[in-house]
Structure 1
């Protein structure tokens, strides 16, 4: 149990038997009445974001979520296999737990996996990854009808928009939050 006055970003709360992560919070003192704590909470499993207001000093349950470093090993066709970097234990994660992270996973990449009561909840990827472009059309210098970008397929199978000067075989930096091109490596 923790007071709503002690909330911090990233803290995981157990509300009504469901796990919610605190994205944002603010203490608010209206002209009249008691102080309240406004929050934005993200459901850990579904990703749904809700606004919730608590009275000041309300007690809420916190969930113990263990975040540990894992190394991605391979995909066996049914699940993704990761190895704990400290104990060398391997775990298999279903595709729904990995989510869109599969588009950015390369063998031997390090990720953080959040675990609650022995159940993996989600994976946290680095902010950006470096991927090799496996196929892209040649860009024509005078072609500006698409705003100076063209589609490219990277080694994980993800298709992103890159500038016209990028060619097949180049390594590019990709933002893992939205799949956008960040630059050449």
Structure 2
């Protein structure tokens, strides 16, 4: 059994009968009191972030997960079918499990599928993706002097906020964690 000294950011642990990813941890030793570890955990099932404190040196249940690179083969209604490019094994992922990340995913794009044994835990996209703007409004003359933004529809159907100088057909680098525009790509 692992202890709190074995924790690292990104580890998956079993906490209150739920699988959680360690977002942040901090070992605190407050003078002559007992040391403790402050944890920020993200539930893989609900996506909720929980903060808690545990005694330093206490046992934790580290979960061994398999993280595989897979490709999105096609969409089957609201579901997504991912395929392992080496073994050609296919996995069906529901729209609910994909969540908001689905708006940045095209067919044949790569993603990381996180599994515990045969149980699918989550699907992680690359940190940055490059997508084309399918539709956006034209900028109004004079609006470029200030930080004016507008909505843009991507080739995947997702909608993000972009600066006013972005035009239809431009390729954009997007942060998939936050959904923010990063830069225009040539």
Give the TM-score, by structure 2 length.
0.93
In structure 2, C-alpha distance between the alignment counterparts of 1:60 and 1:164, rounded to whole Å: 49
Q: Alignment length, in residue pairs? A: 185
Residues 141, 164 of structure 1: 8 Å contact kept: no
1:83-98 superposed matches below 5 A: 83-98=83-98
Tell me the alpha carbon deviations over residues 117-138 of structure 1, each in whole angstroms, 9 at most, x when there is no partner.
3111111111111111111111
* Structure 2 alignment gaps of length 5 or more: none
Corresponding residue for residue 129 of structure 1: 129
1:13-162 superposed matches below 5 A: 13-143=13-143, 147-162=147-162
After superposing the two structures, state which structure 1 stretch, 155-164 or 144-153, moved more.
Answer: 144-153
- TM-superposed CA distance for 1:62, in Å, is 1.5
- TM-superposed CA distance for 1:86, in Å, is 2.7
- TM-superposed CA distance for 1:145, in Å, is 9.4
- Alignment partner of 1:166 is 2:163: no
Residues 24, 40 of structure 1: 8 Å contact kept: yes
Residues 134, 155 of structure 1: 8 Å contact kept: yes
In structure 2, C-alpha distance between the alignment counterparts of 1:30 and 1:151, rounded to whole Å: 48
* Structure 1 alignment gaps of length 5 or more: none
In structure 2, C-alpha distance between the alignment counterparts of 1:181 and 1:16, rounded to whole Å: 37
In structure 2, C-alpha distance between the alignment counterparts of 1:57 and 1:178, rounded to whole Å: 34
In structure 2, C-alpha distance between the alignment counterparts of 1:161 and 1:47, rounded to whole Å: 23
Tell me the alpha carbon deviations over residues 79-112 of structure 1, each in whole angstroms, 9 at most, x when there is no partner.
1010113311011101111111110001111110
- TM-superposed CA distance for 1:144, in Å, is 5.6
SS in 1 for 2:143: coil
Q: Following superposition, which runs of at least 4 residues in structure 1 exceed 6 angstroms of deviation?
A: none
